[in-house]
Amino acid sequence: MSNAPIFHIDPQAFWIDPYPTLAKMRRDAPIAYVPELDATLLTRRDDIFCEEKRIEVFSSEQPGGLMTTLMGENMMRKDGAAHLAERKMIFPTVSPRTVRDVWKTQFESTTSKILDQLAPIQTADLVSDFAMPASAEALKAITGLTNMHFAEMDRVSQGMIDGVGNYAGDPQVEANCHDCTASIDAHIDAQIPVLKANPDMSLLSVSMNAGMPEQQIRANIKLAISGGQNEPRDAIAGTIATLIGHPDQLDKALNGEVTWLQVFEEYARWMSPIGMSPRRIAKHYTLNDITFEPEDRAFLMFASGNRDETIFINPDTFDVTRDNTKAISFGAGPHFCAGAWASRCMIADVALPMFFARFPNPTLTEPVAYRGWAFRGPLSVEAADLVQ
């Protein structure tokens, strides 16, 4: 058991808004054991940035963890050579060149069709009516599960996320997660012969052609869905909502003073759609006088590191002109998000510029509520004045 100081949290308040609590932890107990989460949290950016790379201590391998139990042992739960081997196998799907030459055109086509459907109604929930289908259609193409409806893609993604975060052991949440993974397996079963006959650059096709064992293919596709749907969905809707609420920042993007990539990366720092990554302590280790013991659980709090006052000036302020080179929104070590290039393309090259080109003066009809700490995003974004 770690000798880290104990820091209690209010789980409900932490889910509603973790940032005030994380600020107190950075100030008073930057490495602390939180009984309500049964984990030791690292909250300062530099500690996270350095220790994420120390895989011999902060191990991603969690044989008994919820993700491994519910989704299979995917490459996110491997370290070293095993992780690198699978990462190399899937790289052709998510490489910058493939994103540019293959996926971007498909992203643009499906996003344009979704925007066409919004124009006549002039009001929408930008989470469910725009960001969700846009993200899901992109993910269908990348995974190869083009036989799955976009709403089912969103459902199974959320079900798995709920399942791997089910630390309270709710049996209904677990049962729903199993139903979601079964749906994914059924869609994979249907697509295997299709992609064997007509291979493409999708994750399923590339993994099969690389000789990856089928069990690993299934686990990695579930990983891609669990991480490739809700974060882009929430980032698209959340960034649009934030820009509508900060018209001066939106003007900078519309006038070309900043790029849409700068806008997205500032939102990803400021709101951190991926707020945390869990690690298993693999061996005895001491960091800043805090001792970790084997099998302790540690949480790398990306959301906290992205608002570290020693790194970012006025970190609670959304500022699209900010230098975000030290942000850790996609991770920092060997597990740096493999889908980062696809996410940046989908959000910064496609969704944001296409939305505001089509609807330059949208308004919000009600305040936006953001929720979550491991994954964070808007519950809804009710918008009006979607007039071309």
The DSSP H or E segment spanning 204 is helix 203-209
Tens of pLDDT along the chain (388 residues)? 679 999 999 999 999 999 999 999 999 999 999 999 999 999 999 999 999 999 999 998 877 777 878 888 888 788 888 889 999 999 999 999 999 999 999 999 999 999 999 878 889 999 999 999 999 999 999 999 999 999 999 999 999 988 887 877 899 999 999 999 999 999 999 999 999 999 999 999 999 999 999 999 999 999 999 889 999 999 999 999 999 999 999 999 999 999 999 999 999 999 999 999 999 999 999 999 999 999 999 999 999 999 999 999 999 999 999 999 999 999 887 888 888 999 999 999 999 999 999 999 999 999 999 999 999 999 999 999 888 7
Residue 229 is encoded by which pair of tokens?
């749907």
Q: What is the pLDDT of residue 1?
A: 66
- Confidence at residue 78, expressed as pLDDT on a 0 to 100 scale: 84
In single-letter form, the type of residue at position 199 comes to P
Residue 200's identity, in one-letter code, is D
Residue 275 near residue 232 (C-beta atoms within 8 A): no
Instruction: Give kind and range of the element (H or E) at residue 93.
Output: helix 80-94
Q: Which amino acid is at 226?
A: S
Distance (Å, whole) CA 4 – CA 9: 15
171-197 and 150-164 helices, crossing angle to 10°? 130
Supply the pLDDT for residue 68. Answer: 79
pLDDT for res 371: 94
Alpha carbons 143 and 342: distance in angstroms, whole number: 12
Tell me the backbone φ, ψ of residue 307, rounded to 5 degrees: -120, 25
Q: What's the longest Cα–Cα distance across the chain?
A: 61
Select from 74, 64, 66, 61 the least CA-distant residue to 174: 66
The Cα–Cα gap between 85 and 294 comes to 26
What integer pLDDT is reported at residue 284 of this predicted model?
95
* Residue 325: count of CB within 10 angstroms of its CB: 6
Tokens in use for 278? Answer: 């869990």
C-alpha 275/C-alpha 268 separation (Å) is 10
Structure tokens at 195: 């992609």
Reported pTM: 0.94
What local confidence, expressed as pLDDT, does residue 122 receive? 82
Torsion of CA 207, 261, 79, 84, to 10 degrees: 40
Domains of the chain: 11-384 (1.10.630.10)
Residue 91 and residue 87: Cα distance in Å, rounded?
A: 6
Considering only CA atoms, which of 60, 133, 5, 104 is closest in space to residue 282?
A: 60
As a whole number of angstroms, the distance between CA 204 and CA 92 comes to: 11
Cβ-contact 342, 99 below 8 angstroms: yes
The answer to whether residues 12 and 297 touch, using CB atoms and an 8 Å cutoff, is no
Q: Are strands 39-42 and 297-300 parallel, antiparallel or unpaired?
A: parallel
Where does residue 69 rank: exposed (0-12), middle (13-18), buried (19+ CB within 10 A)?
middle
**Residue 385 buriedness (CB in 10 A; 0-12 / 13-18 / 19+):** middle
pLDDT at 120 (0 to 100): 81
C-alpha 387/C-alpha 33 separation (Å) is 50
At residue 102, the 3 state secondary structure works out as helix
Phi-psi region of 314 (alpha: psi -120 to 50; beta: other; left: phi over 0): left
